[in-house]
Every structure is written in structure tokens, then in C-alpha cells.
């Protein structure tokens, strides 16, 4: 007999049971569901809505059910549709009819919203911790590479040299914003919907604040219809997760490129790469590729959830059961990626010599020659054209700027003097950009301090 079977004259078609059940995936919510029920029953007792002895019996029974579920000893069935009704059924089996008092003043609609919020609160905490680990790994690479000059790119063409440390710190600040967004979202996630009932509230003299306090919420949802209808906090998480996945994916793409023979800028540790079943020489950056690839499913879940919610009338609709799998999968996907990322970055070998070769054999100091002429009074537009001609001549003669003699330089502009050879060195070029946020060593050192200060605040 179904918990709601009273008004039915026929058993549910088995296909309907199978189709509508969510137990196969929402069993992940079991601990949160029971945590919520324990708070609810404590409140029913405190408010004298049910006798104290009954409440105690229910609380004891819930603890037993929890242990059984955790030990894999409880039978969770599709017949009882979801985790909420399965727990209630198990409770009644454990303590008898008195277990039926648990659901007083509550609906599965506020209950499921509660479980989602409890789950997400923990998930967000985990992701924040993992992002801190990734940032620490990036910062340790930055600190070890404060003198490592590499080509900086725009359009994937060598543009101006930068410090590898600067490049690492760019990602640190992206992940810091991701953490900030997640932390901010907790304001909205961490509110208790319990007490909203099915949609309109309840006739029982419940104490919503009591339950909220017990569960560590910052407050209660202000409107019962809103409390059971919206999943904007899930969308927000999926959106924040999408940004994290996007940032990870861009870094992955760079790791893949840098590992290629064409770049040869880094080598990922053997323990974070894989081989080929056919080609004995291969060492593939599979982890980075897969993290990049899994970005697709995270974006997909965001679009899926937005689409599910679009056009739903208030209040609860069964469509909303579709909120779970995407959220679980998004969290698991991020968790898996972030767990691998910190050690993969930490153990990556940076090929400083190769990066240096790359900035030496290119024209990424051309802007500095133009700026030098500006320093001598030439308008920038003019110096840009002059240097363009120098570069063109060099290309035609198989030379780089630093291969030219002073005479050759002076044939383009008499303003050029002997100090140009120092000005155009990669280290000088980098350290000349000592503007706040720039790539000079001292600017990057400030960035590292700024990032560490934010992390200490957390
Ligand atoms: N399994 C449902 C869900 O995940 C729980 C809420 C069901 N409420 C209802 N009135 N059918 O959304």
C-alpha cells in the first residue's frame, strides 16, 4: 500500500512507478533527508505538536534507519518513489504507526527543497576547499618561476614576453572569483524552506526558526510558494560550476598545448599522464583533455535546469524532480577534476630553458623597440611603422632584433643608441612592465601577496 494510497481504487501501473520514481538517484540525499527530519521532529516536540515520547521514538527510529541506509542494509524501493517516502516507510517499519506522525506539518515539497539546499551547502564547501588547493598549487609554481620568461600570446601568436609566474597567477585570480561567487551564493542557498508545506504553509503552530537554527541556516525562506517552487539556487550553482569548468578547461588546453613537441614548455608528471595502446612513445595529457571535455556536460546541466524551470507555473511541479541528477553530476564532475588538478599542477615540470629559447627566437620585443623610440621623442604611430620595417627586414634576412648591429639599427633611426641591446633583452622587456598587475617580477610578487591575503581571509 502506497503512503498516499487512500483515495486510489487501483494499484499504480508498474511502468508509472518506474517512470516517476527518483529513488535510484535521490538516495544520495538520504543523510540530509534524515538530518532534516530529525530537526523537524525536534521542533514538533518543542512546540508540543506531537507528544514528547512519540517524538523521541521517531528520532531514535530515524537514527536506526540512517545507520541501516549507510550500511546498505535498508531496502529502498521504486514502489515508494523517492528517498522521502522510503525513509518514512522504513521508519514506520522500525517504530510502528507512531512513525506516521513525522510528516505532521510538512510536505515532500518543502522537504525536497530542504534536502537540495543541505546537499548544495556541503557541495559548495567542498568545491571551495578544492579550489583553494588548486590555487595553492598554482601559486607554488608561480613562486618557483618568478624568473621564468615565456612568450605571451595574443591570437596564439607570440606577442610580448611574460613571466610564467604571471601566467599562473592569471588563473589564480580566476579561481578566486569563482570562490567568491560560490561564497556569495551561500547567502541564498543557506535559507530554510521547511514550513512552507506543500505550497501554502501549515495550520500547525510550527517554529520555522527553530528548525532553521538547528540545521545551521542563516534564515528562513520568506514566502512559502517561492520556497517550494524555485530552484534558482541550483541554477546558480550550475552557473558557478560552469565558470569553474570553463576556467579549468582553458588551463587544460594550455597544458595540452605546452606538453606538445611543438611547444615543449612543460612536462606533466608520469603519474598524471597515460600511454597509447599502439604507439610505444606516446605520453598523453589525458587528464587535462578529459577535464576540458567534461566541461560540456557541466554546461549541459545548466541549460537543462534552466529549460526545465522555464514556464513552470507555481508552485511545485513534478518536472522539478529533474533538478537532481544534473546537480549531483556537476558536483561529482567538478570534484573529480579539482582533486586531480592540484597535484597535476604541483608535479608539472616547467622547461624554463625552452621557454627562454622561444622568447629569444622571436619578435616579442618589437613593442619595446617602438616604445624606446617614443621615449626619444618619436610619435608612437611613427615608431610603430619604423619598427615594422625593421621586423620585415629581419624576417627577410633570417634575423631577430638582437642580431642587428648598432649601425643597422641606426640606419632605421638615428635616435637608437647602444643601450638598445639591453632594452630588448627578454628580462628587461618583462621587468619594464612594472605597472600594477603587470608582468615585471615585482608586480607579480605583489599579485602573489594579494592572492595569499585573500586566501588567508577565508
Ligand atoms: N521526488 C520528488 C522530487 O524530487 C519529491 C517531491 C515530490 N512531491 C510531490 N508532491 N510529488 O521532486
Cβ atoms within 10 Å, residue 407: 8
| Res 1 pLDDT > 80 | no
Q: Which of 23, 28, 79, 109 to mutate to test the pocket of ligand 1 (most atoms within 8 A of CB)?
A: 109
Domains and CATH numbers, the chain: 5-104 (1.10.275.10), 109-357 (1.20.200.10), 366-424 (1.10.40.30)
CA of 317 to the centre of ligand 1 (A): 8
Rounded distance between C-alpha atoms, residue 192 and residue 113, angstroms: 9
CA of 82 to the centre of ligand 1 (A): 7
Tell me if 40 CB under 6 Å of ligand 1. no
Identify the band that residue 326 occupies on the pLDDT scale cut at 50, 70 and 90: very high
Nearest ligand 1 atom to the CA of 22 is 1
For the chain, the three-class secondary structure string (H helix, E strand, C coil) is CCCCHHHCCCCCCHHHHHHHCCHHHHHHHHHHHHHHHHHHHHHHHHCCCCCHHHHHHHHHHHHHHHHHHHCCCCCCCHHHCCHHHHHHHHHHHHHCHHHHHCCCCCCHHHHHHHHHHHHHHHHHHHHHHHHHHHHHHHHHHHHHCCCCEEEEEECCEEEEEEEHHHHHHHHHHHHHHHHHHHHHHHHHHCEECCCCCCCCCCCCCCCHHHHHHHCCCCEECCCHHHHHHCCHHHHHHHHHHHHHHHHHHHHHHHHHHHHCCCCCCEECCHHHCECCCCCCCCCECHHHHHHHHHHHHHHHHHHHHHHHHCCCCCCCCHHHHHHHHHHHHHHHHHHHHHHHHHHHHHCCEECHHHHHHHHHCCCCCHHHHHHHHHHCCCCHHHHHHHHHHHHHHHHHHCCCHHHCCHHHHHHHCCCCCCCHHHHCCHHHHHHCCCCCCCCCHHHHHHHHHHHHHHHHHC
Confidence band, pLDDT 50/70/90 cuts, at residue 252:
very high
Please give the Cα distance from 234 to 322 (Å, whole number): 11
Contact 136, 342 (CB under 8 A): yes
Cβ(233)–Cβ(188) below 8 Å: yes
Q: pLDDT tens across 369-405, in order?
A: 999 999 999 999 999 999 999 999 999 999 999 999 9
CB distance 112 to ligand 1 below 6 Å: yes
Ligand 1 binding pocket mutation candidate from 26, 76, 80, 112 (most atoms within 8 A of CB): 112
- Angle at Cα 10 formed by Cα 7 and Cα 16, nearest 5°? 100
Q: Give pLDDT, residue 2.
A: 86
Residues 68-102: pLDDT tens digits? 999 999 999 999 999 999 999 999 999 999 999 99
The residues that are catalytic are 155, 276
Q: In this structure, what C-alpha cell is assigned to residue 81? A: 518513489
Residues, the chain, total?
458
Q: Which of left, alpha, beta for 218 (phi over 0: left; psi -120 to 50: alpha)?
A: alpha
Instruction: Please name the residue whose Cα sits nearest to atom 4 of ligand 1.
Output: 321
Task: Look over the chain and give the mean of its residue pLDDT values, rounded to a whole number.
Answer: 97
Candidate of 4, 107, 108, 230 to mutate for ligand 1, largest count of ligand atoms within 8 Å of Cβ? 108
State how far the Cα of 83 lies from the Cα of 111, in Å rounded to an integer: 10
Banded model confidence at residue 456, pLDDT cuts 50, 70, 90: confident
* Residue 106, ligand 1, Cβ within 6 A: no
**Backbone φ, ψ for residue 349 (5° rounding):** -95, 125
State how far the Cα of 103 lies from the Cα of 70, in Å rounded to an integer.
22
What is the pLDDT at residue 272?
A: 92
Q: Does the beta carbon of 116 sit less than 6 angstroms from any atom of ligand 1? A: no
- Interval 424-453 mean pLDDT: 97
Give me the mean pLDDT over the 119-143 stretch: 98
pLDDT at 187: 97
Cell of 38: 530529525
Q: Is the CB of 308 under 6 A from ligand 1?
A: no
Q: 184 to each of 180, 188, 196, 214, how far by Cα in Å?
A: 6, 8, 24, 22
How are beta strands 191-192 and 219-220 bridged, if at all?
parallel
Q: What is the pLDDT of residue 458?
A: 75
ipTM of the complex: 0.97
The 10 Å Cβ neighbour count of residue 211 is 24
C-alpha–C-alpha distance, residues 292 and 245, integer Å:
8
pTM of the full structure: 0.95
Span 18-45, pLDDT tens digits: 999 999 999 999 999 999 999 999 999 9
Alpha-carbon radius of gyration of the chain:
31
Q: Which residue has the least CA distance to atom 3 on ligand 1?
A: 321
Distance 432 CA to ligand 1 centre (A): 62
Q: Is any ligand 1 atom within 6 A of the Cβ of residue 364?
A: no
Pocket of ligand 1 contains residue 316 by CB under 6 Å: yes
Q: What is the pLDDT of residue 385?
A: 97
- The set of cell numbers assigned to 139 is 601559486
Amino acid at each position: 500500500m502506497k503512503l498516499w494510497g487512500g483515495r486510489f481504487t487501483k494499484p499504480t501501473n508498474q511502468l508509472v512507478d518506474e517512470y516517476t520514481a527518483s529513488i535510484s538517484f535521490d538516495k544520495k540525499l538520504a543523510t540530509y533527508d534524515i538530518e532534516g527530519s530529525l530537526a523537524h521532529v525536534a521542533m514538533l516536540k518543542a512546540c508540543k505538536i506531537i507528544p514528547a515520547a512519540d517524538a523521541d521514538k521517531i528520532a531514535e527510529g530515524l537514527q536506526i534507519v540512517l545507520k541501516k541506509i549507510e550500511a546498505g542494509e535498508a531496502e529502498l524501493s521504486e514502489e515508494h518513489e523517492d528517498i522521502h517516502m522510503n525513509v518514512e516507510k522504513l521508519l514506520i517499519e522500525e517504530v510502528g504507526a507512531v512513525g506516521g506522525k513525522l510528516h505532521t506539518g510538512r510536505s515532500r515539497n518543502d522537504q525536497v527543497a530542504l534536502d537540495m539546499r543541505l546537499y548544495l551547502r556541503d557541495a559548495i564547501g567542498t568545491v571551495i576547499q578544492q579550489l583553494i588547493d588548486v590555487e595553492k598549487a598554482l601559486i607554488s609554481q608561480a613562486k618557483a618561476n618568478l624568473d621564468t620568461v615565456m612568450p605571451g600570446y595574443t591570437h596564439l601568436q607570440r606577442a610580448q614576453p611574460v613571466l610564467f609566474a604571471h601566467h599562473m597567477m592569471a588563473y589564480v585570480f580566476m579561481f578566486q572569483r569563482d570562490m567568491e561567487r560560490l561564497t556569495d551564493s551561500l547567502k541564498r542557498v543557506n535559507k530554510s524552506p521547511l514550513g512552507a508545506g506543500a505550497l501554502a504553509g501549515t495550520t500547525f503552530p510550527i517554529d520555522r526558526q527553530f528548525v532553521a537554527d538547528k540545521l545551521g541556516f542563516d534564515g528562513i525562506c520568506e514566502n512559502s510558494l517561492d520556497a517550494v517552487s524555485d530552484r534558482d539556487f541550483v541554477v546558480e550553482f550550475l552557473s558557478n560550476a560552469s565558470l569553474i569548468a570553463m576556467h579549468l578547461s582553458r588551463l587544460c588546453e594550455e597544458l595540452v598545448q605546452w606538453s606538445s613537441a611543438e611547444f615543449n614548455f612543460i612536462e606533466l608528471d608520469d603519474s598524471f599522464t597515460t600511454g597509447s595502446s599502439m604507439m610505444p612513445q606516446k605520453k598523453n595529457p589525458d587528464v587535462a583533455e578529459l577535464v576540458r571535455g567534461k566541461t560540456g556536460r557541466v554546461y549541459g546541466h545548466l541549460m537543462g535546469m534552466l529549460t526545465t524551470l522555464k514556464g513552470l507555473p507555481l508552485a511545485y511541479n513534478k518536472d522539478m524532480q529533474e533538478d537532481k541528477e544534473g546537480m549531483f553530476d556537476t558536483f561529482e564532475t567538478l570534484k573529480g577534476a579539482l582533486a586531480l588538478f592540484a597535484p597535476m599542477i604541483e608535479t608539472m615540470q616547467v622547461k624554463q630553458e625552452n621557454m627562454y629559447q622561444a622568447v629569444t627566437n622571436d619578435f616579442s620585443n618589437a613593442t619595446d623597440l617602438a616604445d624606446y623610440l617614443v621615449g626619444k621623442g618619436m610619435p608612437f604611430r611613427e615608431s610603430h611603422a619604423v619598427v615594422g620595417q625593421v621586423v620585415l627586414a629581419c624576417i627577410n634576412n633570417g634575423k631577430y632584433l638582437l642580431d642587428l648591429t648598432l649601425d643597422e639599427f641606426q640606419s632605421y633611426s638615428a635616435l637608437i643608441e647602444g643601450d638598445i641591446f639591453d632594452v630588448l633583452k627578454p628580462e628587461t622587456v618583462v621587468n619594464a612592465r612594472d605597472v600594477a598587475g603587470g608582468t615585471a617580477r615585482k608586480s607579480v610578487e605583489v599579485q602573489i601577496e594579494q592572492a595569499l591575503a585573500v586566501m588567508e581571509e577565508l
